[in-house]
Structure 1
Amino acid sequence: MARRVFLHIGAPKTGSTYVQNVLWNNSDALQRAGILLPGTRSAHDQAMTDLRQVSWRDPNATWTWDQLAAKAAKWHGDVIITNEALGGATPEQAARGVAAMAPAEVHVVVAGRDLWRTLPSMWQQSIRERRSWTFETFLRDVESGRFETFWEIHTPNRMFRKWGDLVAPDQRHLITVPPPGAPHDTLWQRFAAVIGIPDGVCEMAAPTANPSLGAAEIEVLRRVNGALGEKYPVRTPYQKVVQRHLVNAVLKKRRNETRFSVGQDRAAWVRDLAEQQIKELRDYPCHIVGDLTDLRPGEMAASPSPSPDELDEKQVLQAAIETIVAMLGHADDLSQTGEVGYDAVFTRAKQDIKRGLRRVTRR
């Protein structure tokens, strides 16, 4: 049976893509060192959707949480299960998730990031998952308590109440995301220290992070989402078409220079929330890797650029036109490399974008 099982449960937008890339790109080396990542990256995601019983679970998914646990149970060393959406489980689901790993010693690993950076990143991620609300609507809903999901899945305090309370204090681990300017591998070193991954086991060169989009690019995507209507209504079809061919192939490759922040009108609110979060975590018995002050917003100066809601319509139109041109190039590249079956996909995608542009020009 497994000796220890480390459940890395989140949060999203805390460098999880970077950490997971290092892990999966070095899975063979980790296994030789006695550390198993059971199944595949997709298996961890499918097991998460099974455990949480989400409505958007891929109907073609085959992995369940119990299957992943059974795979882990056959290993005689340490096991890592990682998916940043696990933190969104209910208390009952978390209890089932931990119980399935018995009799192994279960460790809960949570990463935390300061709210000033988390809020715009989380809104952007929601757009990349097919939402179409504006940045201001998102902030108002979080501020008023109408969007409790944000707190449940993005704050270590809430995640520890559901997952951490199920294990002993020395089996709860909080990793703080280092502030801007820290060496790029600091987050990985903190994660590796929790698991006990020796130096030199993992190659660090290849993995990349999950880059943010600029204000114009994310606004184009938001309007495309609104224009999709009933197309690609759930997670997997949306990922296969929109995420793959619009976000990954085009939008991520643009300059994405126009960055934005929460706004000075909410700076005091964010600062107060950060202090409350730090106090709660200081009082919660767990192993902290990093420093709780990392959760305190650093530079909160006014953003030099407008938020996506404040962009001039001409800026959005120009970004949309350039996006269409880039998508045509992407389609041509696919046809040149022999991939087939994408003509209809791109025709539909271009039509959706054009409908969104017509709405822009009418306004």
Structure 2
Amino acid sequence: MSRRVVLHVGAPKTGTTYLQDRLQLNARSLAAAGVHVPAGSPLVPAPLFHFRAALDLLGQDWGGPPGHAEGSWESLVRKVRRRSGTVVVSHEILAPAPADAIERAKAELGAGRSSELHVVYTARDLARQIPAAWQESVKQGRRWTYQAFLRKLEHGKPWFYRALDLPSVLGAWGAGLPPERVHVVTVPPRGADRGVLWERFCRTLEVDPAAGPQESTEANRSLGVAETTMLRQLNRRMKRATRREAVFDELIREMLAQETLVRTRSQPVRLPPRLLPWAEAETERWLDWVRGSGVDVVGDLADLTPLPLAEDERYADPDNVAAKRQLDAALDALSAMTTEAARRNDPDRQIVARARSAAARRLQG
């Protein structure tokens, strides 16, 4: 039984949500074409299953109740080993994994003479990826200003930069693998059809993109400067424990960030012009590594070139947003939160309502 394991390790903010959802949506047709996407159960679809497996491998425990990820990695490995053909494992939090986790993953997923391990890394230009990374950190509960984030980024400190530094990620994950088994997929430039990214990713799976015809509507959508700053201020008013609860993700990341606040988005968050030379130098370092390593490139390396602001676009500083614009975003958020609170079934509230009704009937009788 021959097996080709394709391990997609990131990077964050490179269309991973879209790719993972499209894999899930087309799991049956892909399986018919020999490409398998392991899932936990009908209640634990592949994206969630792979997320928990990655958490377990990394020894982390967030995004759910304590212990929710325990045993998930072993379960994923068992499911992979039961399959022949191509098996896909995908989650972006794997990108900056420590050496011991990387060695374990490679050893267990690539075990056996008939098993061939491939590593895939999707890469995006820094001018788009860095602003998206800051927004994502705020959605996850971080409270730092854009400038504080950028200062740490320039020194390679935040988790996001360890995850998006292409040479260090692929130097670690690709160690010991033939370069033709390490794939860099470039994210198409702004404005391109999302299907292009799917087509490129399918090349690493060695499958016809038509085997996954159902298009995904999922996207980790971007916010504007006012909305992101408002969320950051909200994070400052909440305790850390609250920001780590699963309900925080449900309300903030999904309902507010993905649904409510994107409808009236303010100016987009951009890379400050002062950092463009730094981003260009970092990109050149990436490209030198890619060319020298001999890894497989799917797409166009020119897609990684960070572009300056358009001539008619003015840079908007997320740390200097007018109070009125933040207030507008806050009122939109408050309206959505109030509507959600009224919609949800609260057993205690229902008991009180029923008691009041019964008392009213008694008084009337």
- TM-score, scaled to structure 1: 0.86
1:120 aligns with 2:131: yes
Identity %: 32
Q: Secondary structure at the match of 1:232?
A: helix
287, 311, 316: which is aligned to 1:306? Answer: 316
Deviation (angstroms), 1:38: 0.9
| Alpha-carbon distance between aligned partners in 2 of 1:323 and 1:50, rounded to the nearest angstrom | 34
Q: Secondary structure at the match of 2:5?
A: strand
* CA deviation map 1:7-46 (0-9, x unaligned): 0000010011111111111111111222111122211001
Deviation (angstroms), 1:148: 4.7
Contact 2:63 2:249 in 1 (8 A): no
Q: Secondary structure at the match of 2:92?
A: coil
Q: Secondary structure at the match of 2:278?
A: helix
1:100 aligns with 2:108: yes
Matching residue of 2:42:
none
1:49 aligns with 2:55: yes
Matching residue of 1:282:
291
1:31 aligns with 2:41: no
Q: Secondary structure at the match of 2:211?
A: coil
Matching residue of 1:355:
none
| Alpha-carbon distance between aligned partners in 2 of 1:83 and 1:118, rounded to the nearest angstrom | 17
Q: Secondary structure at the match of 2:264?
A: coil
Contact 1:49 1:57 in 2 (8 A): no
| Alpha-carbon distance between aligned partners in 2 of 1:113 and 1:222, rounded to the nearest angstrom | 25
Deviation (angstroms), 1:315: 1.4
**Structure 2 CA distance for partners of 1:57 and 1:215, relative to 1, 3 Å:** closer
Q: After the TM superposition, which residues 169-208 of structure 1 pair with which residues of structure 2 at under 5 Å, given as runs? A: 169-208=179-218
| Alpha-carbon distance between aligned partners in 1 of 2:293 and 2:305, rounded to the nearest angstrom | 17
Deviation (angstroms), 1:66: 2.1
Contact 2:225 2:268 in 1 (8 A): yes
Q: Aligned partner of 1:236: which letter?
A: A
Q: After the TM superposition, which residues 159-178 of structure 1 pair with which residues of structure 2 at under 5 Å, given as runs? A: 159-178=169-188
Deviation (angstroms), 1:329: 3.0
Q: Secondary structure at the match of 2:141?
A: coil
Matching residue of 2:272:
263
* CA deviation map 1:224-261 (0-9, x unaligned): 11111244242534324433443334224x22131121
Matching residue of 1:352:
none
Runs of 5+ consecutive residues of structure 1 not aligned to the other structure: 345-363
Q: Aligned partner of 2:89: which letter?
A: I
* CA deviation map 1:28-82 (0-9, x unaligned): 1111222111122211001100111125374223442222011110112210001
| Aligned residue pairs, count | 338
Matching residue of 1:152:
162
Contact 1:259 1:305 in 2 (8 A): no
Matching residue of 1:68:
76
Deviation (angstroms), 1:127: 0.6
Greater displacement, 96-105 / 203-212: 203-212
| Alpha-carbon distance between aligned partners in 2 of 1:153 and 1:179, rounded to the nearest angstrom | 20
Cα RMSD after superposing both structures: 2.2
Deviation (angstroms), 1:89: 0.5
Contact 1:190 1:290 in 2 (8 A): yes
**Structure 2 CA distance for partners of 1:38 and 1:2, relative to 1, 3 Å:** farther
214, 228, 249: which is aligned to 1:218? Answer: 228
83, 87, 95: which is aligned to 2:95? Answer: 87
| Alpha-carbon distance between aligned partners in 2 of 1:169 and 1:114, rounded to the nearest angstrom | 22
Runs of 5+ consecutive residues of structure 2 not aligned to the other structure: 40-45, 351-365
| Alpha-carbon distance between aligned partners in 1 of 2:236 and 2:88, rounded to the nearest angstrom | 38
* CA deviation map 1:302-326 (0-9, x unaligned): 7525222110122112221222123
| Alpha-carbon distance between aligned partners in 1 of 2:331 and 2:63, rounded to the nearest angstrom | 34
- TM-score, scaled to structure 2: 0.86
Q: Secondary structure at the match of 2:14?
A: coil
Q: Secondary structure at the match of 1:166?
A: coil
Greater displacement, 267-276 / 56-65: 56-65
| Alpha-carbon distance between aligned partners in 2 of 1:235 and 1:292, rounded to the nearest angstrom | 39
**Structure 2 CA distance for partners of 1:342 and 1:125, relative to 1, 3 Å:** farther
Larger Cα-atom Rg: 2
Deviation (angstroms), 1:217: 0.9
